[in-house]
């Protein structure tokens, strides 16, 4: 086994081993990025390839936006710099850990057998500290293996089955040291790289590995550019009235940050529905990125007030059942759906200033209206198969808006 080269301490220079070219994502409707130019058009409007010289220039410009550095670092040194807080793993990124005991065990087995493993990717922050952006499953598995308080008990090893049942403490010292001395390749995205390039690398690295929801990835990666809008969404998701209204979405959905995605849906569909085509995940990511980069206007104070007023009204109207289906008995079930969330939150928002919550009779009439809508065949037709089509989204929102206006 080759001995690992000593890595520089976090923030210190090392030999540059290469760079990675990344193409920035442009939010829907936003201007093309600088340097991208205008796509040439032919006589009939067809796209014409960019001349080779211009294309080379564009690629070189993107290349300069991202500087990377690679070196070998032992598993033991990775654990050490993490303990010294020179390598950080953000809590929101830790949430994405998905490996089972068997997968963790087989990774430890791979290290013992010196089977090559993919590199670890980190971002160098302004303070020189490294922030992990890819390699969570592997690094966490090693940390669990050497965790003295609650060590990983190996199981599922299928090459050296005799490892099963062992922990780091029960293995021979020579094997423990072998794991710690295994060299891993670490790729550092240098601090000089553009924030957007860092975002794009994080996003691409974390949408191809272990399953993670779109919102879990957004929650991790958008903060690389700027955390204001991301934190705004997190804060709105904690609002008491809002929590009441979404309480019948499943615990599994909430665990995977679906509560935050619904907040994002509210603002994205309210403010940029004309940009939506069909792929909700891509649309939400583009909208969040656009607001974060201040390419899409967003009045934080006004949006906060409207959001809080809307969900205070919805909580008063039908509480935890406001987004739930109506059963055959005519009573609401405890099955909330995103179609109803979009329809009733966005259908109510334009009228919320006219809803007097102190008027019990009015609140009662709206409750009856909403429960009736949720049984109306015309409305239900916009919530079935193909409900993510822009036309059906608009139809169910407009249905609620129109019916509510009739009784106010």
In a domain, residue 102? The reply is yes
In a domain, residue 28? The reply is no
The verdict on 245 and 357 lying in the same domain is yes
- The three-state DSSP-derived secondary structure of the chain is CCCCCCCCCCCCCCCCCECCCCCCCCCCCCCCCCCCCCCCECCCCCECCCCHHHHHHHHHHHHHCCCEEEEEEEHHHHHHHHHCCCEECCHHHHCCCCCCHHHHHHHHHHHHCCCCCCCEEEEECCCCCEEEEECHHHHHHHHHHCCCCCCCCCCCCCCCHHHCCCCCCCCCHHHHHHHHHCEEEEEEECCCCCHHHHHHHHHHHCCCCCCCCHHHHHHHHHHHCCCHHHHHHHHHHCCHHHHHHCCCCCHHHHHCCHHHHHHHHHHHHHHHHHHCCCCHHHHHHHHHHHHHCCCCCCCHHHHHHHHHHHHHHHHHHHHHHCCEEECCCCCEEEEECHHHHHHHHHHHHHHHHHCCCCCHHHHHHHHHHHHHHCCCHHHHCCCCCCCCCHHHHHHHHHHHHHHHHHHC
Q: Is the pLDDT of residue 15 over 80?
A: no
In a domain, residue 19? The reply is no
The verdict on 181 and 260 lying in the same domain is no
In a domain, residue 44? The reply is no
The verdict on 185 and 223 lying in the same domain is no
In a domain, residue 6? The reply is no
Please give the C-alpha separations between residue 343 and each of 278, 302, 318, 319, 404, in angstroms, as whole numbers: 17, 21, 14, 16, 12
Closest CA to 218 of 206, 228, 235: 206
Q: Is the pLDDT of residue 347 over 60?
A: yes
Q: Is the pLDDT of residue 394 over 90?
A: yes
The verdict on 248 and 333 lying in the same domain is yes
pLDDT for 16: 33
Domain range for 149:
65-205
The verdict on 236 and 354 lying in the same domain is yes
Picking from 23-37, 42-56, 271-285, which range would have the lowest pLDDT averaged per residue? 23-37
pLDDT for 26: 41
The verdict on 266 and 380 lying in the same domain is yes
Domain end (from 179, 205, 231): 205
pLDDT for 255: 82
The verdict on 69 and 200 lying in the same domain is yes
Residue 329 or residue 91, greater confidence: 329
In a domain, residue 316? The reply is yes
Q: Is the pLDDT of residue 339 over 60?
A: yes
The verdict on 109 and 185 lying in the same domain is yes
The model's pLDDT over 258-281, given as tens digits with 9 standing for 90+, comes to 999 999 999 999 999 999 987 898
Q: Is the pLDDT of residue 60 over 90?
A: no
Domain end (from 166, 187, 205): 205
The verdict on 169 and 237 lying in the same domain is no
In a domain, residue 277? The reply is yes
Tell me the pLDDT of the chain averaged across its residues: 84
The verdict on 272 and 146 lying in the same domain is no
Q: Is the pLDDT of residue 234 over 70?
A: yes
pLDDT for 168: 96
In a domain, residue 261? The reply is yes
Residue 23 or residue 85, greater confidence: 85
Domain end (from 141, 173, 205): 205
pLDDT for 218: 78
For the beta carbon of residue 374, count every other beta carbon within 10 angstroms.
23
For the beta carbon of residue 172, count every other beta carbon within 10 angstroms.
9
Q: Is the pLDDT of residue 220 over 90?
A: no
The verdict on 225 and 106 lying in the same domain is no
Q: Work out how many domains the chain is built from and give that number.
A: 2
The verdict on 161 and 228 lying in the same domain is no
């Amino acid at each position: 086994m080759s001995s690992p080269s000593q890595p520089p301490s976090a923030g210190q220079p090392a030999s540059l081993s290469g760079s990675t070219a990344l193409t920035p994502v442009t939010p829907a409707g936003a201007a093309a990025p600088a340097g991208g130019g205008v796509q040439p058009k032919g006589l009939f409007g067809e796209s014409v390839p960019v001349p080779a010289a211009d294309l080379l220039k564009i690629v070189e410009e993107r290349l300069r936006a991202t500087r990377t550095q690679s070196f070998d670092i032992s598993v033991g040194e990775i654990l050490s710099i993490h303990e010294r807080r020179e390598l950080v793993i953000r809590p929101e990124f830790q949430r994405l850990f998905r490996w089972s005991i068997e997968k963790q065990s087989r990774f430890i087995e791979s290290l013992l057998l010196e089977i090559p493993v993919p590199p670890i990717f980190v971002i160098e922050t302004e303070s020189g500290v490294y922030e992990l952006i890819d390699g969570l499953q592997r690094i966490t598995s090693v940390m669990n293996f050497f965790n003295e308080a609650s060590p990983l008990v190996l199981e599922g090893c299928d090459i050296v089955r005799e490892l099963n049942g062992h922990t780091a403490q029960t293995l021979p010292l020579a094997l423990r040291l072998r794991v710690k001395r295994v060299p891993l390749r670490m790729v550092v995205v240098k601090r000089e790289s553009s924030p957007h390039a860092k975002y794009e690398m994080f996003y691409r690295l974390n949408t191809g590995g272990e399953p993670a929801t779109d919102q879990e990835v957004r929650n991790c990666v958008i903060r690389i550019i700027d955390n204001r809008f991301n934190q705004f969404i997190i804060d709105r998701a904690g609002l008491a009235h809002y929590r009441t209204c979404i309480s019948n979405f499943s615990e599994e959905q909430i665990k995977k940050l679906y509560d935050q995605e619904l907040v994002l849906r509210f603002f994205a569909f309210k403010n940029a529905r004309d940009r939506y085509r069909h792929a909700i995940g891509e649309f939400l990511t583009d909208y969040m990125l656009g607001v974060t980069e201040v390419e899409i206007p967003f009045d934080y104070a006004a949006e906060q007030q409207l959001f809080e007023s809307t969900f205070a009204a919805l909580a008063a109207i039908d509480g935890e059942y406001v987004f739930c289906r109506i059963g055959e008995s005519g009573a609401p079930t405890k099955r909330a759906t995103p179609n109803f969330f979009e329809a009733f939150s966005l259908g109510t928002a334009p009228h919320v200033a006219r809803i007097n919550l102190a008027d019990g009779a009015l609140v009662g009439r709206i409750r009856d209206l909403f429960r009736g809508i949720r049984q109306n065949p015309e409305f239900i037709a916009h919530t079935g198969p193909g409900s993510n089509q822009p036309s059906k989204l608009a139809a169910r929102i407009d249905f609620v808006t129109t019916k509510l206006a009739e009784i106010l």
